[in-house]
Amino acid sequence: MKFFEGCMALITGASSGLGEEFAHQLAPVAKTLVLVARRNDRLVALRERLLAEYPACSVFTYRADLSQEKEREELVNWLQKQQLPINFLVNNAGLGDSGEFSTAEWPRIRSMLDVNITALTHLTYLLLPSMLRTQGAAVLNVSSVAGFFPLPNMSVYSATKSYVTSFSEALAMELRPKGIIVTALCPGPIPTEFAETAARPYEEPRIPHTHSMPAFMATPRQVVLAGLQAVVAERPRAIPNPFLALAIGVALVIPFFLTRKVISCFRTSL
């Protein structure tokens, strides 16, 4: 964790799940943490817990709906006013939608595109100029193994995560010579609020993805640690679970028509 000593990190989606865990793992070493999400009460409660345990770390909370361009710009203006030069951006906020595309609700689809793709890209764009002026800056984009394949019943979500992985890999190559590390963290199922948020209240409940693939599960603690270690190792991509990493490795070398067949077999449990 030496790499993160004295860092000024911004964590999106810090009100639950992985975002909250990133805050816990970074607080012992970071100089400053900026916690961003919509549920401000949760951010404030987390800030209090972190300050009680790690008084040397300055913790700020900022309520923002990251699907809104104006709110993203206001966040970055606020960071400038507060003189908080972020050198570690954790683009973690994201959401899914579980079910067929034809029965999806447009506001949910739009939110996925806005948060998973646009907010991640825009925040990176807005914060890059100041990161380029700092030594040892990094961007950690939380993607998903869902981004490696087109997944029926998660079609838009898996497409957004393909974008995140592809964007991160390209950016890693562009920015490495400029001293900025970019990593895409690609976890499998993790027990967080994700499945609950992705469920559709107007349809029969589906089996949560954390139940259908137990061998590929990892805890938030393991996933976050693997992500931070990948940044330190300057790896552009991290798959936290070794079984999953192996399965993805195999799936990526076999002909795609076979992969498509396997995905179709698992269709009902996706």
Ligand X SMILES: NC(=O)c1ccc[n+]([C@@H]2O[C@H](COP(=O)([O-])OP(=O)(O)OC[C@H]3O[C@@H](n4cnc5c(N)ncnc54)[C@H](OP(=O)(O)O)[C@@H]3O)[C@@H](O)[C@H]2O)c1
Question: Which residue, 39 or 178, is less far from ligand X as judged by CB?
Answer: 39
∠ CA 192-194-195, rounded to 5°? 100
Stretch of 15-23, 121-129, 175-183, 225-233 lying at the interface with ligand X (CB under 6 A) = 15-23
Q: Are 102 and 109 in contact (CB under 8 A)?
A: no
- Host H or E run for residue 237: strand 237-238
Question: Which residue, 60 or 136, is less far from ligand X as judged by CB?
Answer: 60
∠ CA 121-125-131, rounded to 5°? 125
3-state secondary structure of 146: helix
Stretch of 45-53, 60-68, 169-177, 249-257 lying at the interface with ligand X (CB under 6 A) = 60-68
Length of the chain: 270
Stretch of 90-98, 129-137, 165-173, 228-236 lying at the interface with ligand X (CB under 6 A) = 90-98
Give the amino acid at 54: Y
Answer yes or no whether residue 240 interacts with ligand X by CB under 6 A: no
Answer yes or no whether residue 115 interacts with ligand X by CB under 6 A: yes
Answer yes or no whether residue 147 interacts with ligand X by CB under 6 A: no
Answer yes or no whether residue 238 interacts with ligand X by CB under 6 A: no
Alpha-carbon distance 122 to 108, whole Å? 20
Question: Which residue, 17 or 99, is less far from ligand X as judged by CB?
Answer: 17
Interface residue with ligand X, options 38, 49, 235, 237 (CB under 6 A): 38
Considering only residues 175 to 204 of the shown chain, the ones binding ligand X according to CB under 6 A are 187, 189-190, 192-194, 197
Answer yes or no whether residue 93 interacts with ligand X by CB under 6 A: yes
Answer yes or no whether residue 32 interacts with ligand X by CB under 6 A: no
Question: Which residue, 134 or 237, is less far from ligand X as judged by CB?
Answer: 237
Residue 163 annotated as catalytic: no
DSSP 30: -
Secondary structure string (H, E, C) spanning 82-131: CCCCCCEEEECCCCCCCCCHHHCCHHHHHHHHHHHHHHHHHHHHHHHHHH
Alpha-carbon distance 219 to 17, whole Å? 10
Interface residue with ligand X, options 6, 39, 48, 133 (CB under 6 A): 39
Alpha-carbon distance 206 to 66, whole Å? 28
Query: Which residues have a catalytic role annotated?
Result: 157
Interface residues toward ligand X, by CB under 6 A: 12-13, 15-19, 37-39, 64-67, 92-95, 115, 142, 144, 187, 189-190, 192-194, 197
